[in-house]
Amino acid sequence: MFIGSRAVVRQAFESLSPINNLKIADMSSLPSVAMAPRGGGGGVIAISDATLLVSSVPLALVAILSWKMQLGVSSSLLTGAFRTFIQLSILAAILQPIFTASNIFLVVAYCFFMTTLAAQASCSRLKYQFKGQFLGVLGCLLTSVATVASFAFVGLIRPHPLYNPQYVIPIVGMLLGNSMNGISLTLNHLTSSIVEQQREINLYLSFGATAKEAISRILREAVRSGTTPLLNSLAVIGLVSIPGMMTGQILGGSSVIDAARYQCLIMYLITIATFCAILMESLLVLRIGFDKSHMLRPDRFTKEPKKSKNVLKWLFGLMKRKSSESKSKISSQDENTPLIQTSLKIEDTCPVTNNVEVQPLLNLNNSEGDTNMLEIRNLCKSTVRWDKKEEDTLLGREENVDSRNLFEHFSFNVRSNGISSVTGPSGSGKSQLLQCIAALTPIQEGEVLLNGKRWDVETRVEWRRKVRYVTQFKVDIPGKPIDFIKRIASFKSWIKDPSAPKLENVVETTQALISKWGLSVDCLDKDWSILSGGESQRVILAIAFASKPEVIMLDESTSALDQKSKAAVEASIKEYTEKFGWKVLLVSHDVEQFGRLKDLIV
């Protein structure tokens, strides 16, 4: 693109020379690209249609060989080669009149067209989609590329005129190409992690993390995955091969030194644009993935269905997709109501009986006027599930609607120094109840109060600092338990809370508890992946106890322990409840465990 006009190239280098004191060589003697003689001493050797045809023969042989070897790439290879010829031919036909006219409106329109295609390409191969995804990516690309391009053309290159298509279109194209790849890789990694690594994110949230603190590791990995190709290019550029733009300038007759400097400038611009686009898109995904109360919202992401090979079904599915998406909105929450889910119209046939029961097991506080308690008032939680069949997905239909109430106007309280059991059949909503109280999942209606204070959007993170939710699942996150302890102790909610324990106190208490429960303190220095299910449960329970919550909710958190270890943990539960005034909710399918807690004497 840069080698068609000697005068423009010379003018660009002259505009750069005040900045970097370059001495621009005389280019008046450079042969014209169009007039370059075949095999001459400069310029570009013309490539005829016959030459292109001959160059494609080895490619066809490679395709035949791959077909013989049943590699499954021959069709893609031939299709790609044909599309390359067609697309570049069309591109040349479009750009030729734009370059000739040198009209600012044509240049801006074509750049916007390229940006739109880049945004569409960035979104086309993602595993998960979210509402407004295309517009978000388009906005990030427009902002980053327009800002960097303006800096380049106004402050550095200064072509005449500033909208010179011979400069603007190729440079904007290079910025878009690299930014598009970076956004696509980052976006796919980040959205997939939000949906598929909910346990890790909710684990940090349950210990009082903000959204950014909970997803910081995943965010770092996502940005790293998006920028790795660019960083690799920066590390080996010029060593492995000569970059394409530099090659074009050399073929066009520019000096090697000038071409190298120009390539450096372009690489710096590409790096800035790519990083800006990636960071903006990452912040957008965080805004979608979490609501204002820092609650994880994986329900806002939908898995992109595989495209059908049947073209008619696929086209019909596109027409039906809009109605399908509007129907699926029922199960999602409005952006402006982060605490209470959008009201659901449940069918009259849905059961309204609460299958979850909360019964006091132990109350060590007999004070009647004590308001130091956990109160649940008229809590309502419903679920709506759209059961998709494969053929329904292809045709854009939603079938087999399943909606039900988990609990309706559910109220209870747990006093200070009290332990209550949460029972009910499998799937009745016991875990959902605890997650609602822990502010890890939204509710439809109701209030949750701790010591007479209601929760709200602004204090939800501080609420999780005081209300601890511990699941039955094995902790499977990178790092060691000691690293986890250091990380949670650095959360903002811990630093702001004067009652939060210090790092050394958490470590000391955790070591004492796991020793009492039959584990070596060396477990804290082992990777989580090495610990067994029972070891992992005891370690995370010890950390939860050491974090000094006011409410602790155990969701079958001792299910992987033997009877001796269970008894030791149960003794600590009663001891800490009496010592620190805990309010304890305990989910367990082990009926004998409830009996042991009732009969246990410290």
Per-residue pLDDT tens digits for 131-172: 999 999 999 999 999 999 999 999 898 988 888 888 899 899
Q: What is the DSSP letter of 443?
A: B
The answer to whether residues 542 and 521 touch, using CB atoms and an 8 Å cutoff, is no
Output the domain CATH number for residue 469: 3.40.50.300
- Residue 464 located in a structural domain: yes
Which whole-number Å values give the CA distances from 32 to 2, 253, 291, in the listed order? 12, 9, 60
* Average pLDDT score over residue span 385-411: 56
For every residue of 467-535, DSSP letters joined together read: EEEE-SSPP--SS-HHHHHHHHHTSHHHHH-TTSPPHHHHHHHHHHHHHHTT--GGGGGS-TTTS-HHH
Q: Are residues 423 and 561 in the same domain?
A: yes
The answer to whether residues 528 and 480 touch, using CB atoms and an 8 Å cutoff, is yes
* Average pLDDT score over residue span 338-353: 42
Q: How far apart are CA 112 and CA 143, in angstroms?
A: 11
Taking each helix axis as running N to C, give the angle between helix 256-289 and helix 244-251, from 0 to 180 degrees, rounded to the nearest 10: 150
Question: To 5 degrees, how large is the angle CA 511–CA 514–CA 519?
Answer: 115
Task: Compare 218 and 8 and report the one with higher pLDDT.
Answer: 218
Q: Which residues lie across from 403 on neighbouring strands?
A: 384
- Residue 185 located in a structural domain: yes
The answer to whether residues 223 and 278 touch, using CB atoms and an 8 Å cutoff, is yes
- Residue 498 located in a structural domain: yes
Which whole-number Å values give the CA distances from 419 to 357, 415, 581, 598, in the listed order? 14, 8, 10, 9
The answer to whether residues 110 and 98 touch, using CB atoms and an 8 Å cutoff, is yes
Q: Which residues lie across from 407 on neighbouring strands?
A: 381
Q: Are residues 267 and 123 in the same domain?
A: yes
Number of domains into which the chain is organized = 2
pLDDT in tens, 103-113: 999 999 999 99
3-state class of 401 per DSSP? strand
Identify the pLDDT of residue 598: 74
Question: To 5 degrees, how large is the angle CA 217–CA 456–CA 299?
Answer: 50
The answer to whether residues 467 and 550 touch, using CB atoms and an 8 Å cutoff, is yes
Q: Are residues 296 and 426 in the same domain?
A: no
Task: Compute how many other C-beta atoms are within 10 angstroms of the C-beta atom of residue 496.
Answer: 12
Q: How far apart are CA 586 and CA 435, in angstroms?
A: 13
- Residue 385 located in a structural domain: no
Global pTM value: 0.77
* Average pLDDT score over residue span 162-186: 91
Task: Compare 453 and 553 and report the one with higher pLDDT.
Answer: 553
Taking 80 as the threshold, does the pLDDT of residue 45 lie above it? Answer: no
- Boundary residue ending a domain (253, 276, 301): 301
Q: Which of 40-54, 207-221, 425-439 has the lowest average pLDDT?
A: 40-54
CA 249 to the chain's CA centroid: 40
Q: How far apart are CA 436 and CA 463, in angstroms?
A: 12
Q: What is the DSSP letter of 306?
A: P
Q: How far apart are CA 56 and CA 121, in angstroms?
A: 27
- In the numeric block, the tokens 């969701």 are attached to 555
Helices (H), 102-197: 104-124, 133-150, 165-196
Taking 50 as the threshold, does the pLDDT of residue 339 lie above it? Answer: no
Q: What is the DSSP letter of 544?
A: H
Helices and strands: H and E segment counts in the chain: 21, 11
The answer to whether residues 12 and 41 touch, using CB atoms and an 8 Å cutoff, is no
* Whether residue 161 has a cis bond before it, omega within 30° of 0: yes
- Residue 123 located in a structural domain: yes
- Residue 30 located in a structural domain: no
Give the rounded percent of residues in the chain with a pLDDT score beyond 90. Answer: 44
Domain extent at residue 529: 361-368+416-441+453-599
Closest C-alpha among 221, 269, 293 to residue 441: 293
- Boundary residue ending a domain (252, 272, 301): 301
Identify the pLDDT of residue 487: 96
Structure token digits, residue 97: 């009149």
Confidence class for position 353, pLDDT limits 50, 70, 90: low
Identify the pLDDT of residue 557: 92
- Boundary residue ending a domain (262, 277, 301): 301
Confidence class for position 2, pLDDT limits 50, 70, 90: very low
Taking 80 as the threshold, does the pLDDT of residue 434 lie above it? Answer: yes
3-state class of 324 per DSSP? helix
The answer to whether residues 378 and 445 touch, using CB atoms and an 8 Å cutoff, is yes
Structure token digits, residue 554: 């155990």
- Residue 270 located in a structural domain: yes
- Residue 549 located in a structural domain: yes
Query: Phi/psi of residue 112, each to 5°?
Result: -65, -40
Q: Are residues 420 and 294 in the same domain?
A: no
